[in-house]
Amino acid sequence: MRIPFVDLQAQYRSIQREIDDAMAAVIRDAAFIGTRENKYVRRFEEQFAGFLGAAHCIACANGTDAIELMLESIGVREGDEVIVPAHSWISTSEAVTAVRATPVFVDTLPGVFTIDPERIAERVTARTRAIIPVHLYGLPAEMDEILLVARRFGLRVLEDCAQAHGGTYRGRAVGTMGDAASFSFFPGKNLGAYGDAGAVVTGDAEIAERIRLVSNHGQVRKNVHACEGRNSRMDGLQAAVLLAKLPHLSQWTEQRIEHAQYYSSALADLPLQLPVVPQHSRHVFHIYSVLHDARERIGAELQQQDIATAVHYPNALPFLPPYAAGGQRGDYPFASATCRRQLSLPLYPEMTQEIQDTVIGALRRSLGATVKARA
């Protein structure tokens, strides 16, 4: 049995009629482009804002643009610094560079992988404008402490929620705690479109209006340009897919959590570091991440049995070529150790117990061999 890392085809089969009908309607209406008048895009914005309990949602082309649009909307520009975790997907820091500001990296917390709030203060300078916490793998960052440091230094907080749709921190939805929040609907994300798509949510009407303007060529209405903007709109087809999928998200999230719990109980006796979920957080398991020194060997052995795994990510951001040359201070011990030891197991809502048992069996054999070889 070949086991993929995620199975988007299984999800499509489970809701095929809804998706096909939704896409056919957009094509019939020729509602392809997410201009202000596109009813599919506007309806998705309303429903996603409602799902989170946020005042405003502005759809855009992808999750990376969403971060860039947030930064632009609060006036981050050349010469400014923005604090980001040392361990994330490159979009988080790339968006900072895209507005000509400088990403400043902060190490992550051991075990939970999100930014260490206690290390933020030491990286704040007179140029620091904002912090971008990332709810990595689906686990909310430690927002109360982050918001406290932000208040102390007068910084904005922009949440990167690309991996955490539906997560909660002390009962609050991820995406509603900072000044604004970005989401990605890349197909493999917990809520995924059938192509690139993203959104910003915010409680701040000014941020919302600025992003609405900038993401659509600065147009107030047809041929009236209040400013120069750009083209970062969500396609009508993507909005229709997301509208069809949104009502299923809560159930899919429950299934992810159940599968994660099943892995964690079946792997508890192995010499693997398993995901830690603080009492106050709802982890939505975009990624089920384990740590082990021999992750390369384990991944290769699983691959030989047709079981896909992944690494998120093999290098901490400060050590990627575009940043390494800048001579970032510090050595980011926890982010580095994570990147060296991290392995992501297959996890998706439609996964059966039989599939999970196959993964678990292969992992147990792989680790049993290690124990024997060492004895």
Binding-site ranges for ligand PLP (CB under 6 A): 62-64, 88-89, 91-92, 134, 160, 162-163, 184, 186, 196, 198
Which parts of the chain fold into alpha helices (H)? Answer: 8-14, 16-29, 39-52, 63-73, 91-98, 143-153, 205-214, 236-245, 249-266, 295-304, 321-324, 333-341, 353-374
Nearest to 343 by CA among 291, 303, 294, 274: 291
Q: Tell me the closest approach of the beta carbon of residue 265 to ligand PLP, in angstroms.
A: 27
Residue 143 or 360: the one with the smaller Cβ distance to ligand PLP is 143
Strand 219-221 relative to strand 224-225, pairing: antiparallel
Three-state DSSP at 330 gives coil
Residue 89 or 334: the one with the smaller Cβ distance to ligand PLP is 89
Residue 219 or 232: the one with the smaller Cβ distance to ligand PLP is 232
- Using CB atoms, what's the residue nearest to ligand PLP? 63
Rounded to 5 degrees, what are φ and ψ at 183? -125, 150
Residue 3 or 287: the one with the smaller Cβ distance to ligand PLP is 287
Residue 90 or 308: the one with the smaller Cβ distance to ligand PLP is 90
Distance CA 103, CA 324 (A): 12
Residue 56 or 286: the one with the smaller Cβ distance to ligand PLP is 286
Distance CA 66, CA 214 (A): 11
Which parts of 131-184 fold into alpha helices (H)? Answer: 143-153
Q: Tell me the closest approach of the beta carbon of residue 330 to ligand PLP, in angstroms.
A: 21
Q: Tell me the closest approach of the beta carbon of residue 209 to ligand PLP, in angstroms.
A: 23
Distance CA 114, CA 88 (A): 9
Q: Tell me the closest approach of the beta carbon of residue 116 to ligand PLP, in angstroms.
A: 17
Residue 62 or 202: the one with the smaller Cβ distance to ligand PLP is 62
Q: Tell me the closest approach of the beta carbon of residue 98 to ligand PLP, in angstroms.
A: 11
Residue 11 or 92: the one with the smaller Cβ distance to ligand PLP is 92
Which parts of 270-320 fold into alpha helices (H)? Answer: 295-304
Q: Tell me the closest approach of the beta carbon of residue 288 to ligand PLP, in angstroms.
A: 15
Q: Tell me the closest approach of the beta carbon of residue 52 to ligand PLP, in angstroms.
A: 17
Half-sphere exposure of 97 (CA within 13 A, CB side): 10
Contact 286, 138 (CB under 8 A): yes
Q: Tell me the closest approach of the beta carbon of residue 223 to ligand PLP, in angstroms.
A: 29
Greatest alpha-carbon span in the chain: 75
Contact 127, 172 (CB under 8 A): no
